[in-house]
Amino acid sequence: MSSEKENETVTSMLSKSSLESQPGKENQNVDKQKAEQYKDEGNKYFKEQQYSKAIENYTLAIQNNPNEASYYGNRSFAYIKSEFYGYALSDANKSIQLDSKYVKGYYRRASSNLALGKFKLALKDYEFVVKTRPNDKDAADKFKECEKICKKIAFEKAIAVDETNKTAWDSIDIEAMRNSNVESDYKGPRLDSTNKINMEFVNQLIEHYREQKVLHKNYAYEILYQIHQFLKKSPTLVDINVPDDKKFTICGDIHGQYYDLLNIFKINGLPSENNGYLFNGDFVDRGSFSVEVIFTLFALKLVYPDHFYLARGNHESINMNQMYGFEGEVKSKYSQQMFNIFTEIFNLLPLCHLINSKVLVMHGGLFSKDDVTIDDIRAVDRNRQPPEDGLMCDLMWSDPQYSTGRSQSKRGVGIQFGPDVTQAFLIKNNLDYVVRSHEVKQEGYEVMHNGKCITVFSAPNYCDSMGNKGAFINIKGNDLTPKFVTYEAVEHPKIKPMAYANSFSLFGLN
């Protein structure tokens, strides 16, 4: 994910480099020596992880010599590092168009498609790389790993056809689990015979997790069962009423950063009837404490169903979970069976929340078409994996842009929408502003579109590498003016982000 400065730079660079794709421009204003200088400068910034500056220099290299495939390949890699997979895919395609034997172009395209969950397309390009470089062990490993994912998906689809009416819960006997004895040497939080989850249990769970201990599987399944039963009855769009004298807090992405989640509660107070929260998606993946995050959030939802809210993000989906660590983490700490249950529960999470009929909160953003109403959102059938277009896709994937209108998504999914789109949507639905998450911001938040589109991101020093602050928003029922609270990252156990993720890496630069 990128900061707002990177966002601006990328948008600017794309507009400046529009000549790249225009027919007949390839041979104009070629200065190969200057292009190489810009490429070398881009490589230097890339190695320093200053990806926006790397993109800027690769773009200048392209403008001075639009015929060199490696410049597009390098910029594609920088886009991948910035998680702009749509732009990365476009550059990879251009590099292959210029040089059909440019192996790194196929590698970049495979990596972009892989990140977007398009495993079959990625597999095709990995296969090309392996055939071209038969002695490349790294490429062979990636091909095998991608092939394994494709076979797994095909197998799961075959099972789904044969067992249409079955769910992951069919293999779980929750009553038998409730009646079984938990081992006497288990020292963690326990539920009594009523199985009621209360704040005493949650407080014990928080401390248990703080010490890097695992919740007993019987209690883990109990939480999942109860949250599944609750979410089955929830609507796609949840209305929240915040009383005049009550504080309410909106948080953005957490991404498995459990110790930073605890810091939010330390700063802002634990959830209660007088201290409501909305966590706006992307609870899991990336950070290596996603299991701890999601069970804590689910437990709090069960304790305060009318004061604690959870929205679905793009990372509450199977493709993202398979790539970015959550599946691997659940399998490591519990089982594949439990991950399958998580997948069914994530499908039931609401897509957005409407606060006091005036503030709409969703994870991604607004829509690829005009005249969408609140009632249209209410009518979305959310119980599925995110589609590649339509209202559900936009709610989970789209991003705001500085320019007016709509444009191609830098991510390759959803769209980018301008201030005019935001203004028209707010007027149409009599809203004050929208809040979304989905993007790293250096200060933890960003206010765009004349104050009408706010981004909040709550994972500080994202992936232990971005150096950003985290933030949350406080509002009151009688004053919906957003008040931003920012904070730095706190220490966590020495387990690196992405510890459970697929081990795909990329070729180096040219």
Asked whether residue 86 is assigned to any structural domain, the reply reads: yes
What string of DSSP letters covers 392-414?
Answer: HHHHHH-EE-SSSSEEE-TTSSS
- The reply to whether 492 belongs to the active site is no
Burial bucket for residue 296 (CB in 10 Å: 0-12, 13-18, 19+): buried
Can you tell me the distance from the alpha carbon of 429 to that of 425, in angstroms, rounded to the nearest whole number? 6
Can you tell me the distance from the alpha carbon of 404 to that of 390, in angstroms, rounded to the nearest whole number? 20
Q: What pLDDT does residue 137 have?
A: 87
Segments forming the whole domain that contains residue 49: 4-116
Residue range 420-445: mean pLDDT, rounded: 98
Asked whether residue 374 is assigned to any structural domain, the reply reads: yes
Residue range 477-499: mean pLDDT, rounded: 96
Instruction: Give the CA distances from residue 319 to residues 153, 359, 414, 434, 437, in Å, rounded to whole numbers and listed in that order.
Output: 10, 30, 16, 27, 20
Categorize the per-residue pLDDT at 119 as very low, low, confident or very high, splitting at 50, 70 and 90: confident
Q: Has residue 509 got a pLDDT over 90?
A: no
- Nearest of 231, 202, 237 to residue 305 by alpha carbon: 231
Asked whether residue 133 is assigned to any structural domain, the reply reads: no
pLDDT digits (tens, 9 = 90+) for 457-469: 999 999 998 899 9
Helices 103-115 and 85-98 pack at an angle, to 10 degrees, of 160
Contacts of 483 (CB under 8 A, 6+ apart): 473, 474, 475
SS3 169: helix
Instruction: Give the CA distances from residue 34 to residues 30, 58, 63, in Å, rounded to whole numbers and listed in that order.
Output: 9, 11, 10
Asked whether residue 95 is assigned to any structural domain, the reply reads: yes
pLDDT digits (tens, 9 = 90+) for 151-161: 887 877 776 65
Question: pTM higher than 0.75 for the full model?
Answer: yes
Residue type for position 230: F
Examine the domain organization and report whether 437 and 289 are in the same domain: yes
Boundary of a domain, candidates 83, 116, 149: 116
Residue type for position 237: L
pLDDT digits (tens, 9 = 90+) for 321-334: 988 999 999 999 99
Q: What pLDDT does residue 503 have?
A: 64
Can you tell me the distance from the alpha carbon of 147 to that of 84, in angstroms, rounded to the nearest whole number? 24
Q: What are phi and psi of 208, to 5 degrees?
A: -60, -45
pLDDT digits (tens, 9 = 90+) for 222-260: 999 999 999 999 999 999 999 998 999 999 999 999 999
Examine the domain organization and report whether 105 and 198 are in the same domain: no
Asked whether residue 85 is assigned to any structural domain, the reply reads: yes
Examine the domain organization and report whether 206 and 352 are in the same domain: yes
Asked whether residue 283 is assigned to any structural domain, the reply reads: yes
Residue range 14-24: mean pLDDT, rounded: 42
Boundary of a domain, candidates 116, 140, 174: 116
Examine the domain organization and report whether 199 and 91 are in the same domain: no
- Mean pLDDT value across the chain: 91
The CATH number given to whatever domain includes residue 276 is 3.60.21.10
Examine the domain organization and report whether 357 and 230 are in the same domain: yes
Boundary of a domain, candidates 116, 136, 160: 116
Examine the domain organization and report whether 232 and 108 are in the same domain: no
Asked whether residue 438 is assigned to any structural domain, the reply reads: yes
Examine the domain organization and report whether 212 and 109 are in the same domain: no
Q: What pLDDT does residue 149 have?
A: 83
Examine the domain organization and report whether 104 and 195 are in the same domain: no
Examine the domain organization and report whether 112 and 197 are in the same domain: no
Q: Has residue 8 got a pLDDT over 60?
A: no
Examine the domain organization and report whether 390 and 242 are in the same domain: yes
Asked whether residue 137 is assigned to any structural domain, the reply reads: no
Selecting among 228, 315, 353, 449, the annotated active-site residue is: 315
The total of structural domains in the chain comes to: 2
Contacts of 152 (CB under 8 A, 6+ apart): none
The CATH number given to whatever domain includes residue 99 is 1.25.40.10
